[in-house]
Structure 1
């Protein structure tokens, strides 16, 4: 609980942060570019961003390759044939947009001469996951070994999807619980509004948001809608309990990832496992490996939508900020129609929103 509460912000200090993924493809064929191997690769693009614009590589650790640019981006992280901006927190949404546009501009400048285009879509439109090599990093090796045993579309999630995310502050554990519940309730609507992945493997796939369907078939232990947090009395501790019962992927020991896949964090915390003893930073890392539709840290992460063109991502961010920061009147108007649903009804609604869109 202390780790959640440490980052809460007072209302006057609230900020907004954006994360934005784009899928790299060959401009001529539309097929995904590889992570590494020649000039037309994600790794080469990141190297050019470093050399041309002064981005700095942070290193793998628990999260994959990261590149920082003090002028624009906090870091861009790649875990497949994509690039992700994880932006700084900003007081004004307009400043977050400036950062995002700068990121896209620099990315295009280094990529266009290489014949690479960056698609703002929820899934790769042509390439399938078995056509992409595993990313040569411990994180993805461990996940590739474990997740396909948990969900039939896990490799699609890892290698062929992209989304957009907005991060918003809360000021107390009570507000965190209330806003997490509201956010989970409305997340299927957001999925439908910004559904942008109707084509995959070169054909219409029957879903307006195939990405949302992919996440539903990735790992039921760590994805979807945490049941207790849908209830009126669900709190931050319930979210922590849900996360503690989720199996781990790994722990970071001196920037070397130790495979802990399949061991629940609760078991690890109580008795240790595989020669490792728990550390507080293991919990922080574990929280990044659970993937609900809205994720709670010391702030809320809205993560349910497909990647979209920049203007729509800014609309998504403004909508979410308006809801969370809009006050009790806004919350009451949204809460009323969504109160009293069963868990099964919410899951069915999520499935319908992913299939039909708006």
Structure 2
């Protein structure tokens, strides 16, 4: 579980690697995406909007955002700090052997970052979507330039995702190779079935106008609208490695990185499998069905391609939960980190979660996330959906019972308990609670 696992590889140009065959590509995806073994480590990635403390509804000019980022980068942090294309600030924990190890480092780093920003009249704000306009990309790089070109072909959702969304991502180990409550096959399926409940319980991106008007989790709508496959999960009943490998290779290539530092090519309609077959692969099985000007793909290209796939649960050796909105308040992010950890890493809670998931699967398990109707209801209605409310109450109860067994601090237990009482047991989510809603001209409660 590498620190900063959502970030692309540090190398921005491909190395002199040999061409890759289709068989070798399948083996590579098998090997790097599900690293099985005892669940031991936990990680979290927290994204935040940076706002003016006195005028949160105003869009910060680029120079103030850049100064805020520089102040944060100057700090000595436990976590990896990175900047998203729209200027959102992200803290990614190092892999931790316990919940306390994960959250203690993040809490210390957040305190330091908040103090540094406060001196500039700025604050961190936890919300899943920034509705202010216009959308402006702060960062320019070959990756983000290519990403914007690719997503612009299908509509505005790509720019909205890059510049206006924020999340809490929780990373847990893939699990044992063998079947059982902590086996990787069950954990993979469980993650997708319970993902809708997490969308609903932690929905914090309400929309009051536009294509997602009335939704509790407009951020999920944005991700669903990116393109036909990039944010889609594999079929729920597929064996994890085989299903993910097919999905990854049959998804369009977002970009082909250049050798000379120039702009990256953005070939339309070319899947990675097409590229393998068109690129004169090393085993001689290439065909002439693709653009002949493309160089043959390498293992480095495949690893990079995997970083451009954005399903709700992404296998990166570990499992990366990507469906949870950024949470309000100083400690709101603790709740999804603690709940996901409890439900996936405590055997008793995992068994209880599986029973909840099985009941959901009996009704909703035939279509992949996020196009599954339950996911769509979660994004639109949050826990006002009675089926999701019932499931969430059972899951949060199981998590609360597991947290003491996992060594969670009293503070973490209290924060989870308060969230459960305030939202889950009442069929509500943070989007329902009247938190600050940002507009282009100011802010309102």
TM-score (norm 1): 0.83
Return 255-264 or 208-217, whichever deviates more.
Answer: 255-264
1:222 corresponds in structure 2 to: 230
- Distance between the aligned counterparts of 1:117 and 1:201, measured in 2? 26
Task: Give the equivalent residue in structure 2 for 1:59.
Answer: none
Give the distance between the partners of 1:255 and 1:241, measured in 2 at CA.
31
Distance 1:177 1:139 in 2: 33
Provide the residue aligned with 1:206 in structure 2: 214
- Kindly state the Cα deviation for residue 337 of structure 1 after the two structures are TM-superposed: 0.3
Q: 1:290 offset after TM fit, Å?
A: 0.8
2:345 equivalent among 316, 320, 325: 325
Q: Does 1:349 align with 2:374?
A: yes
Query: What is the TM-score when the length of structure 2 is the normalising length?
Result: 0.68
| Count of residues in Structure 1 that have an aligned counterpart in Structure 2 | 330
Taking the aligned partners of 2:267 and 2:116, their CA distance within structure 1 comes to: 37
Q: How does 1:76-91 map to 2 (within 5 A)?
A: 76-91=82-97
Segments of 5+ residues of structure 2 without an aligned counterpart are: 1-26, 280-290, 384-445
Contact 2:172 2:318 in 1 (8 A): yes
Structure 1 pair 30–172 and aligned structure 2 pair: CA distance change class (3 A): same
- The residue number in structure 1 matching 2:254 is 249
Name the residue aligned to 1:66.
Answer: none
Residue pair 1:164, 1:307 contacting (<8 A) in 2 also: yes
Aligned-residue CA RMSD in angstroms? 2.6
Write the distance in 1 (CA, Å) between the matches of 2:273 and 2:162.
Answer: 25
Asked whether the equivalents of residues 151 and 226 of structure 2 are also in contact (C-alpha less than 8 Å), the reply is yes
1:49 aligned to 2:72? yes
Q: Deviations over 1:39-84 (max 9, x none)?
A: x11x222222333x25xxxxxxxxxxxxxx4xx1133233212011
Q: Secondary structure at the match of 2:324?
A: strand
State the match for 2:35 in structure 1.
8
Q: In structure 2, do the counterparts of structure 1 residues 178 and 88 end up closer, same or farther at CA, with 3 Å as the change threshold?
A: same
Question: Residue 186 of structure 1 is aligned with which of 187, 194, 215?
Answer: 194
Structure 2 Cα separation of the partners of residues 46 and 183 of structure 1: 33
CA separation in 2, counterparts of 1:245 and 1:91?
35
Corresponding position: 1:31 with 2:38:
no
Question: Tell me, which stretches of 5 or more residues in structure 1 are unaligned?
Answer: 55-68
Residue in 2 aligned with 1:104?
Answer: 110
1:314 CA drift (Å)? 1.8
User: Who is 2:185 aligned against?
Assistant: 177
* CA deviation map 1:135-193 (0-9, x unaligned): 32222211111102224422211111101101110245563333221111111110000
Structure 2 Cα separation of the partners of residues 221 and 146 of structure 1: 13
Residue 334 (structure 1) aligned to one of 341, 356, 361? 356
Q: Which residue of 2 aligns with 1:63?
A: none
Contact 2:232 2:368 in 1 (8 A): no
Report the secondary structure of 1:24's partner residue.
strand
CA distance in structure 2 between the aligned counterparts of 1:206 and 1:147, rounded to whole angstroms: 25
The SS at the match of 2:333 is helix
Which structure features the higher share of strand residues?
1
